Structure 1
């Protein structure tokens, strides 16, 4: 028997996938109708969260943030079986994940933070990536469960909060990428070019393939052998903002980066590799 708390898009599709694999799943959601809807798929919905977790050793949760996770677990606690395992797929803070791991262990409950790089479609089809970290004996215990739910499980070692940190870094990349695409689309429109020119460009030139090498170069901190001088990168940023302004478009990402470039130009780094703007964070 499995309990699943949180029937949003991710949680409901995880539940459907578990049911299709023959698992018995008890579900609960703060908005009861979302849990009740899963009964048509074979789940057993509960109005009481305490009843939903009674007699269950394996409990999954997909919620919104640290505060909600803490509140829901506190609400469910009277129903927890000694030795129960809580698998939390919520994106949370590092501190929150580490705190919950320690506090629940003191109550004979195993809490494991297992954040995901998975959308609802991934949850339904068992693809995407799960992250796990913390006690490695526990990780070995839960790995067979996780492997049936996703395409790949990445074990990040014995620090309980590491998975939470890596999840945030991954999401940071996705947010930055989307912000960059937004700036590209705005500038393309300002220059009277269709957005399709960007997809056409990427069909011939794949900048993503160079991302690992770019990060490695940044981390080597070799600014005296520039592949793109800071002054030239700043000139290009100026052109981008000027083109956008001509079309009455406001950019999100490029102005912030240009401001950081200006700070380093004022220090006399015009002929350095432009990746010097990241040097304070190494």
Structure 2
């Protein structure tokens, strides 16, 4: 018997996938109607979280944040059976994951943080990436079951909280990428270029092919052999900001990046590779 707490888009599709695999799943959600909806798929819904975890050897969670995880687990604790394993898929702080691992171990339970790079469709189809770190003996025990609900389980080693940190790094990149695309569309509007032309640009030109190389160069810290000088990149940033300003378009990222570029140029790094901004 398994329990799943948090029936948002991700959690509810995780449960549907588990049910299709023949699992018995007890579910709970703060808004009870969302849990009740899954009874049509074969789950058993509970209004009280303490009741939802009774008899479950493994409890999965997809909740909002550290505070929600702490509150829900505290309320569920009286119903937990001895030795129950808690698998938390929520995106939380690394500090929170570390603290929960310690406190639940002291209480006689096993807690492991396993956040995901998965959307609702991934959860339904058991695809996408799941991250995990911590007690390697426990992870080895859970791996066969976790493989059933994810396309790829990425074991980041024994450092508790590392999975939480990597998840935040990944989400930071997604947020930054989206903000960059917003700026690209804003600039296109300012230049009277159809937005569909921007889509066509990225169909023909995929800058992601250089992603690993850029990261390796930043980590190595070698910016003395530029492929694009910082001073030239700053000139282009100025052109972007001028074009947007002239057409009353708002850019999110470029003005702040330009400030970092200016600071590096003042340090005498204008003729270095523009990725020297990574040292700011």
The TM-score bracket by the shorter chain reads: over 0.9
- Residue in 2 that maps onto 1:155: 155
Once superposed, which parts of structure 1, at least 4 consecutive aligned residues long, lie more than 2 Å away?
none
Matched, 1:228 2:228: yes
How far does the alpha carbon of each residue in 1:129-149 deviate from its partner, in whole angstroms, 9 at most, with x for none? 000000100000111111000
Residue in structure 1 matched with residue 211 of structure 2 by the alignment: 211
| Native 8 Å contact 2:126 2:149 kept in 1 | yes
* Aligned match of 1:180: 180
Residue 272 (structure 1) aligns with: 272
CA separation in 1, counterparts of 2:51 and 2:129? 31
- Give the superposition deviation at 1:126: 0.6
**Cα pair 2:113 2:163 within 8 Å, conserved:** yes
The residue that corresponds to 1:4 in the other structure is 4
CA deviation after TM superposition for structure 1 residue 220, in Å: 1.5
- Name the residue aligned to 1:78: 78
Are the equivalent residues in 1 in contact too, given 2:189–2:195 (CA < 8 A)?
yes
CA distance in 2, matches of 1:129, 1:251: 32
* Number of the residue aligned with 1:146: 146
> So what's the TM-score if we normalise by structure 1?
0.98
Q: Name structure 2 gaps, 5 residues minimum.
A: none
Deviations 1:215-254 (A, max 9, x none): 1111121122111111100000001111111221010011
Distance 1:223 1:170 in 2: 24
Partner residue, 2:104: 104
- 2:135 matched to which residue of 1? 135
Paired position in structure 2 for 1:66: 66
Shift of 1:61: 0.4
Following superposition, the deviation at residue 205 of structure 1 comes to 1.4
Return the alpha-carbon distance in structure 2 between the equivalents of residues 147 and 96 of structure 1: 25
| 1:31 and 2:25 matched | no
- 1:200 corresponding residue in structure 2: 200
- For the residues of structure 1 that align with 2:219 and 2:46, how far apart are their CA atoms? 51
1:51 and 2:51 aligned: yes
> For residues 169 and 47 of structure 1, what CA distance do their matches in structure 2 show?
35
Moved more, 268-277 or 21-30: 268-277
1-structure distance, mates of 2:202, 2:136: 41
Shift of 1:168: 0.3
Deviation per CA, 1:125-181, whole angstroms, max 9, x where unpaired?
Answer: 111000000010000011111100011000000011000000000000100000000
Structure 1, residues 15-45: CA drift from partner, whole Å, max 9, x if none? 1111111111100011111101111111100
2:26 match: secondary structure? strand
For 2:270 and 2:49, the matched residues in 1 are separated by 60
Alignment partner, residue 240 of structure 1: 240
In the aligned structure 2, how far is the partner of 1:7 from the partner of 1:84?
Answer: 20
Q: Secondary structure at the match of 2:131?
A: strand
Number of aligned residues = 280
Query: In structure 2, what is the Cα distance between the partners aligned to 1:75 and 1:168?
Result: 27
- Equivalents in 2 of 1:135, 1:22: separation in Å? 28
Deviation at 1:107, TM superposition (A): 1.1
| C-alpha contact (below 8 Å) 2:217/2:223 kept by paired residues | no
TM-score (norm 2): 0.99
